[in-house]
Amino acid sequence: MSKVLQLRSERAQLNTELQALAKLEADGTSLNAEQLAKFGELEAQINTLSDKISRAESAERAAASSAVPVNEGAQGITSPPGSRVEGPYNQPTKPDVAMAQMVRLLVQAQGNQQQAAELAKANGFGADVHMALSTVTPGAGGTLVPENFSSGVIESLRPKSVVRRMGAVSLPLNNGNMTLPRINGNTSVSYIGTEQDIPLTEMTFADLKLSAKKAAAIVPISNDLLAFSGVNPRVDALVSSDLATSMGLSEDLHFIRGPGVDPLPKGLRYWAPAGHIVAQPAGVTLADVDTFLGGLMLRLEVANVDLAACGWIMHPRTIRWLQSLRDGNGNKAYPEIDAGLLKGYKWALTTQIPTNLGAGGNESEIYFVNFADCYIGEVEQLAIAISTEASYKDGEGNVVSAFQRDQTLIRVVSKHDFGPRHVESIAIGTGVTWGAGM
């Protein structure tokens, strides 16, 4: 068994134990101190193994790329020319890495696809990368990335986008549109006596309509990094990570708070029904906080929402304040936060939830959502465009010249839409000022 498979097997066993503890709490059983400690220990071990697996995979890719082909068959007999495939074409490239390699090659070829294809062949890149560059057709949004590469990039967004990571379901948008029927009103079931007619009931339905909306993320990358020629797993991983991070942040910004005004998708904030939007109470006692959080959960419970895939998303300021909250005896009010849970449900952080809302400019929001009921419809093809002269705005709104910084700007264009199948699956706490003075 390879080292990677061995590590994956160990991680799977630890994950089974962790899921068993999580199920106990999901079923209503409070975890004791020993179980909470075990949960945290398992989580740390899983993270450590994930890091080891990543390094082991990188080592295997490096070993494969540096392997020297031999001319002997299994029996020591020299194989005739052309009877087998040699060189860099033995192993397919991981889709997200393949896109990063396409970007580097296109930059080196100054956007010339055929020249980039020749560079791929000459510098030991995979046959799939060479073929993609040889056959793709430029589009209005830039060079089209093959669908098999794009799907890998989209999958790599899962750890980068908090909405995806929390369990939102990804679906392909055929022809750019999709309609999902949903049950809007349940049938009623009643008991009847002997020889009584069964009463007629009907379900009522509504539709969730998803239509492709164009999103673009601009990723500045150092020319020193892009200048590396040939296959380099570390460089490709960095480029791939930068692309995924920028796309993930762009998605979260709109999937959480997009107003839904064309051409923007509608985010959770504007899908939530009015009765599921709850203002933070004026008091900040532990009882006030607990009632507020419980009230958000109650909105979903009384709507008969399946709570199994529910979770919280909030700004880091909010969770750190809750993490430091103490009861009258000096004990942590929510010790389970250290184990990744809040009131029995997983939580995740994102800076895409603002902290400058409200009249005072210091308010934020907290979301409790059934993410399994949220859908991302996406066209599984990306387009990339490259510029060394364009400018962009940094995180503070300053205009930066890529030419002056010796950077290359990669623009990634994707098409997708977002929406919940049942709007009752969303509850939002507004006016949250917890931690504003931290």
Confidence (pTM): 0.65
In 10 A of CB 134, how many CB atoms? 14
- Say what the pLDDT of residue 187 is: 52
Structural domain boundaries of the chain? Answer: 3-59, 144-183+204-438
Which residues make Cβ contacts (< 8 Å) with residue 85, sequence separation at least 6?
127
Q: Rounded CA gap, 196 and 128, in Å?
A: 68
Q: Rounded CA gap, 414 and 222, in Å?
A: 23
Locate 20 and state its tokens. Answer: 């068993």
Is residue 15 within a helix (H) or strand (E), and if so which, with residue range?
helix 3-26
What is the pLDDT tens value at each position of the chain, 438 positions in all?
Answer: 457 667 777 887 888 888 888 888 888 888 888 888 888 888 888 888 888 877 876 776 666 555 444 343 333 333 344 333 333 443 556 656 777 788 788 877 877 778 888 888 887 787 878 887 877 666 555 677 777 677 666 666 666 789 999 999 988 887 888 888 766 555 556 677 777 776 655 555 567 888 888 887 787 888 877 776 566 666 777 777 777 787 888 889 899 999 988 888 999 999 999 999 999 998 889 999 999 999 999 999 999 998 999 999 999 999 999 999 999 899 999 999 999 999 999 999 999 999 999 999 999 999 999 999 999 998 877 787 888 888 888 767 789 898 888 888 888 888 899 999 899 999 999 999 999 977
Phi, psi (deg, nearest 5) at residue 136: -70, 155
- Listing from the earlier edge strand, what are the strands of the sheet with 426-432? 277-279, 426-432, 364-370, 310-314, 345-349, 341-342
Locate 233 and state its tokens. Answer: 């797993």
- Say what the pLDDT of residue 228 is: 63
Is residue 322 within a helix (H) or strand (E), and if so which, with residue range?
helix 316-324
- Say what the pLDDT of residue 52 is: 85
CATH 3.40.718.10 fits 144-183+204-438, yes or no: no
Locate 200 and state its tokens. Answer: 């007629």
Q: Rounded CA gap, 89 and 95, in Å?
A: 15
- Say what the pLDDT of residue 354 is: 94
- Say what the pLDDT of residue 26 is: 81
For the chain, how far is it from start to end, CA to CA, in angstroms? 50
- Say what the pLDDT of residue 92 is: 55
